[in-house]
Structure 1
Amino acid sequence: MVFEAVLIAGPTASGKSAAALALADRLGGAVINADSMQIYRELQILTARPSAAEMAGVPHHLYGTVPGREGYSVGRWVGEAAAAIEEARAAGHVPILVGGTGLYFMALLRGLSPVPDIPDEVRQRWRSFAATAPASDLHAALGARDPVMAARLDPTDTQRLVRALEVVEATGVSLAEWQETEGEPVLRDEGLLKLVVAPERDVIYAAIDARFDSMLEHGALAEVEALTKLGLDPGLPIMRACGVPELAGHLGGAMSLDEAAEKAKTSSRRYAKRQMTWARRFMADWTWVPDSEAALLVGPEPGPNKR
């Protein structure tokens, strides 16, 4: 079967990138990034962005293309992903979209709600607040302004809490109402292979721990030090990437490197748990596979796994 596109989702450290590369080799594909952190130029090691060697021989799109000083949005990604899909097809390649940002896939398949642009002053106010206040304060603020969205969101999900606060302040309308109106999807379900790479939880957690140790061995601390020297707004998404706040705290003398590493691993495990929760809710009808090798063996018929 010839696929119009392949979509590969899953939690961090699950083996998505390996599956994408293997399928690209098998199908003659081009890999397109669907991860909100791998888009940033300054974070290669800490986001596990594919290396130059890994990308050699297979076209890759939207990796390390955006400077950290920019607040990248799902709307911008949808536009750039659509262009990358067309570029891949024009070159005779199967588009293979891979990443852990569930909202990107949802926007690709369902269309993007037509939320107006948020004024910079509103965006910066909430990002600055998020940089110094705990997520519980953000959740409380949202509960006072938009109880519907507050009930829907994870009280620890800072990024989505900030987004909901920005929207309700700037437009006076709950993000929940905006989301009821869907835009035009980029991809239709026909001809798609949609995979969730989902190892058992203990396998994912062990992989997260081992990978972070490897990141430290290969220069993650120096990468974060260079990032902090840019003097970026702490409310920017890149400054909240898993491992950045913890290693920046170590560099600032707030904790030992061992403490920072353990906190970063814990943060990554919690992030993986949120990703799996999202996948179970919104990707139950995708084909679930236990590892990257199994992704090569699946057929076109879905076999959901709701572990």
Structure 2
Amino acid sequence: MGPTASGKTDLAIELCDKLGCEIISVDSALIYKGMDIGTAKPSAEEQLKAPHRLIDILDPAQSYSVAEFRKDALVAMEDITNRGNVPLLVGGTMMYYKALIDGLSPLPESDKNVRLKLEAQAKEYGWEALHNRLKEIDPLSAARIHPNDPQRLTRALEVYLLTNRTMTDLLATKTSPIPYDVKQFCIAPNDRKVLHQRIALRFDMMMKAGFREEVEKLRDRGDLHLDLPSIRCVGYRQMWQYLDGDFTEKEMQEKAIAATRQLAKRQLTWLRSWENIHPLDTFGKDNLDKVMTLGDIQL
């Protein structure tokens, strides 16, 4: 585990070189095809060294739930262990980890018709009105969901409309936890300023690698828009808005870097309260040895 730009992929590939590991991606952005540069997707060369499961499995027009991730990850883990290898989960989508390890609440599958009705209401009355409606139905969910977060707001209302029970109520009931012995590690720089520098440097590298052209190609399809989870990914949303003429290129870069820092902050907040986790320094020379020792791994 770890925040964005902390060095997770490099360490994971090193582990695959040393051990019988197979990587399962735990990243809600890497699932999308055609979104390679802005997601910092492992390169073709890196994936050749260490193939990643759950990468490039969906078109950007599609959605992917936490429940679907848990099901797919458990299937992959069973396949890997049946062949005598070790599943190595790598990524920074903390909600995916939590659902996988602790179990998942019995939330209903998404219903396209219900979502379309809610989106139509939002267009007519505004997201603030829908947020006020959620306050009346489920005050606890409304308190943790921002009015400008249409994806989570829609989901909370959808759950109530489908089940006549609030998301808060359903989240109190969970499926069984993960059926494996799990060793958990978090990699990050000790200095937050260093992480911020790495984020800015990586975005600059993305721009040079053709990030703008990647987003232009997505826009040219004509079926994608800012309300989709894929286009709301950090960096993509800001680039899309820049191409819409909402702000200058410099403003876009500043906003994208700021949004990525906020993402890293949220990831670190999750990790600070995480139980049974071993910290690793991004620049630590003995990270591999620590994982081997603390994980009780024998070559």
What's the TM-score once normalised by structure 2's chain length?
0.87
- What's the offset of the Cα at 1:257? 1.5
Q: Which moved more, 1:127-136 or 1:201-210?
A: 127-136
2:168 is matched with which residue?
176
- What's the offset of the Cα at 1:154? 6.1
Q: Percent identity?
A: 37
2:187 is matched with which residue?
197
Three-state SS of the structure 2 residue aligned to 1:238 is coil
Which of 206, 210, 217 is matched with 1:215 structurally?
A: 206
Matched, 1:272 2:272: no
2:18 is matched with which residue?
26
Report the structure number with the largest CA radius of gyration.
2
2:294 is matched with which residue?
300
Which of 47, 54, 57 is matched with 1:55 structurally?
A: 47
> C-alpha distance in 2, partners of 1:155/1:65?
30
Which of 247, 251, 256 is matched with 1:259 structurally?
A: 251
CA contact (8 A) 1:128 1:234 kept: no
Change (3 A) 1:111 1:132: farther
Matched, 1:150 2:155: no
- What's the offset of the Cα at 1:255? 1.9
Which of 261, 281, 286 is matched with 1:290 structurally?
A: 281
Three-state SS of the structure 1 residue aligned to 2:87 is strand
Aligned residue pair count: 291
Q: Counterpart of 1:289 in structure 2: which amino acid?
A: L
2:239 is matched with which residue?
247
Change (3 A) 1:132 1:187: farther
Matched, 1:234 2:237: no
CA contact (8 A) 1:118 1:166 kept: yes
Q: Counterpart of 2:294 in structure 1: which amino acid?
A: P
CA contact (8 A) 2:226 2:237 kept: no
- What's the offset of the Cα at 1:220? 0.7
> C-alpha distance in 1, partners of 2:193/2:90?
22
Q: Counterpart of 1:14 in structure 2: which amino acid?
A: S
Change (3 A) 1:159 1:132: farther
What's the TM-score once normalised by structure 1's chain length?
0.85
- What's the offset of the Cα at 1:180? 1.4
> C-alpha distance in 2, partners of 1:93/1:125?
46
> Cα deviations across residues 17-44 of structure 1 (Å, max 9, x unaligned)?
1121112222221111100111111211
Change (3 A) 1:68 1:84: same
> Cα deviations across residues 191-230 of structure 1 (Å, max 9, x unaligned)?
x220111323212111111111100100111111111122
Q: Which moved more, 1:146-155 or 1:29-38?
A: 146-155
Which of 164, 167, 182 is matched with 2:156 structurally?
A: 164
Change (3 A) 1:206 1:226: same
> C-alpha distance in 2, partners of 1:29/1:227?
34
Runs of 5+ in structure 1 lacking a partner?
Answer: 1-8, 303-307
